[in-house]
Amino acid sequence: QKEVEQDPGPLSVPEGAIVSLNCTYSNSAFQYFMWYRQYSRKGPELLMYTYSSGNKEDGRFTAQVDKSSKYISLFIRDSQPSDSATYLCAIGGRGNEKLTFGTGTRLTIIP
């Protein structure tokens, strides 16, 4: 079993829809939870960074962490074609010195 599981997709949704992306993890010692967006042939770009269970909102993006279920989510509201990218979840343990990444979900927003 991988430490972090993420559905690779691909996922296609119409413009304006709400997108839900998810990851599950197995190690209860994980403490830091991140979502990255990666455009084709570019480096990952940090979208959201949370430490605790609960919700964190930034513009059209909401990150949700449920430590009891070992489940994290990223919601994108009012999705735009520019949101088309691969989304990576990343989880860090104590000290956040080593990130474990999901394999990424490829998202396409259809105009």
- The binding site for other proteins (CB under 8 A) comprises 4, 6, 8, 34, 36, 41-46, 49, 88, 90, 96-99, 101-104
Nearer to other proteins, 14 or 43 (CB): 43
Burial of 7 (0-12, 13-18, 19+ CB in 10 A): middle
DSSP 61-94: EEEEEETTTTEEEEEESS--GGG-EEEEEEEE-G
- Smallest distance, other proteins to C-beta of residue 33, A: 10
User: In the numeric block, which tokens belong to residue 4?
Assistant: 């972090």
Nearer to other proteins, 19 or 88 (CB): 88
- Smallest distance, other proteins to C-beta of residue 6, A: 8
